[in-house]
Amino acid sequence: MSYLFTSESVSEGHPDKVADQISDALIDNFLAFDKDSKVACETLVTTGQVVLAGEVKSQSYLDVQKIARDVIRKIGYTKSEYMFEANSCGILSAIHEQSQDINQGVDRAKPEEQGAGDQGMMFGYASNETDNYMPLALDLAHKLLIELAAIRRENSEIKYLRPDAKSQVTIEYDDNHQPIRIDTIVISTQHDEFDEEGKMLEKIKSDMISILIPRVKASLKPELRQLFTDEIQYHINPTGKFVIGGPHGDTGLTGRKIIVDTYGGKGAHGGGAFSGKDPSKVDRSAAYATRHIAKNLVAAGVADEVLVQVSYAIGVAEPCGIFIDTNGTSKVNLTDGEIAKKVQEIFDMRPYFIEQRLKLRNPIYSETAAYGHMGRKNEVVTKTFYGSNGEEKKVEVELFTWEKLDFVDKVKVAFGL
């Protein structure tokens, strides 16, 4: 019997994502000027106010207010009527030095013996459902909001859009777990006031269905376009009005969109957030490493779907264990436990080696803080940072290294594929 599965996404203007982007901008700036920085910073945003808090050990000094304002401006909060605006919002910093008790468990005389920055378990997931090995419902939910943000910035076809938005996609699957059609699409987009409120919702619904949806469809492969039928149930701004939004509408906090950040409810999540954490925190680095493993296993043909779990004790380099679940889709004559043992031989999951393998001591995190940390494009870019004294620093970095399929050949050899 067919079944339905749903995933959601939120835009870069969603208050929780504003907080994530500020926290990750701070991480990038610290790493740009001191690669050994240890940072765990949280951000709170609300009406006209930003609060920065956390722990830092770094040789660099930053103008955190300027960094936060630059992020808010880039997102699009640039008008006073939003009640949260880049130039005028208050910014309070309560960032202080990292606890020595934690630091002594992480730093070691030999870098390769670096301990995990915390205990916990992290998960990575991949399936061959899409070209980027991500769950389809989440991939479409992200694409809707990425395109909506592009339309907002163009300010041509639709002129009333504001930065805050959410999407949700429900897909019907058959018994073989193949997508049949899109059942429901939910889009809630913040907007300007309308002169005639009665026509407001009608106009927004029409624009979302006749402008946004066709642009998203045009970017997809033919087999995915076929999922968009005339029977889709649309819920566009279902409350009827969405003028008050962003941090004025809801308080935003770092780390509250961890399912949007990962797999949209597919697979599993260990509970640890990513944004605002340097890569010594395995909540972040090991989650990227397990995604890298899962994606390379699926791409190599080990299974159609793979969930990877790794766990750590704080201050200990070797993981407590690695778990693999192929959900009955394995293509090799091995149990999931036997697959896990081979994975341990291929991928060194000690924190230092994860950092080195995935080049995580670079300022690569701002790009992860909206529209998902997984399934993104691996590319090399040049980024510019400014020190507190106005010093300009250009850094060439490789983004989303955990999305590379650079271990496929090693996996094939190990599994005899």
pLDDT in tens, 123-154: 999 999 999 999 999 999 999 999 999 999 99
Q: How far apart are CA 294 and CA 286, in angstroms?
A: 12
The answer to whether 373 is annotated as binding is no
The answer to whether 112 is annotated as binding is no
Predicted confidence (pLDDT) per residue in 286-325, tens digit = 999 999 999 999 999 999 999 999 999 998 999 999 999 9
**Positive or negative, the Cα torsion across 240, 245, 249, 250?**
positive
Residue numbers of the chain with a pLDDT score lower than 70: 98-109, 112, 197-198
Taking Cα atoms as reference points, which of 135, 136, 128, 141 lies closest to residue 169? Answer: 141
Q: Which amino acid, residue 143?
A: K
Q: How far apart are CA 177 and CA 165, in angstroms?
A: 29
Residues 26 and 237 sit within 8 Å (Cβ to Cβ): no
Q: Could you tell me whether strands 233-236 and 179-191 are parallel, antiparallel, or unpaired per DSSP bridges?
A: parallel
| DSSP 3-state of 106 | helix
> How far is the CA of 107 from the CAs of 129, 162, 186, 223, 278, in angstroms?
40, 44, 47, 50, 13
Q: What is the pLDDT of residue 162?
A: 97
Q: What is the pLDDT of residue 31?
A: 96
Q: How far apart are CA 2 and CA 175, in angstroms?
A: 6
Q: What is the pLDDT of residue 125?
A: 98
The answer to whether 202 is annotated as binding is no
Taking Cα atoms as reference points, which of 13, 5, 291, 325 lies closest to residue 172? Answer: 5
155-175 core/surface letters (b: 16 or more CB in 10 A; e: else): eeebebbbbbbbbbbbbebee
The answer to whether 166 is annotated as binding is yes
The answer to whether 242 is annotated as binding is yes
The answer to whether 175 is annotated as binding is no
The answer to whether 203 is annotated as binding is no
Q: What is the pLDDT of residue 138?
A: 98
The answer to whether 165 is annotated as binding is yes
Q: In what order do the strands lie in the sheet with 179-191?
A: 3-10, 161-173, 179-191, 233-236
The answer to whether 342 is annotated as binding is no
Q: What is the pLDDT of residue 96?
A: 86
The answer to whether 392 is annotated as binding is no
The answer to whether 98 is annotated as binding is yes
The answer to whether 16 is annotated as binding is yes
The answer to whether 14 is annotated as binding is yes
Q: What is the pLDDT of residue 414?
A: 97
Question: Residue 323 forms beta bridges with which residues?
Answer: 309
The answer to whether 66 is annotated as binding is no
**Positive or negative, the Cα torsion across 117, 123, 127, 132?**
negative
Query: What architecture (CATH level 2) is domain 3-11+135-245?
Result: 2-Layer Sandwich (3.30)
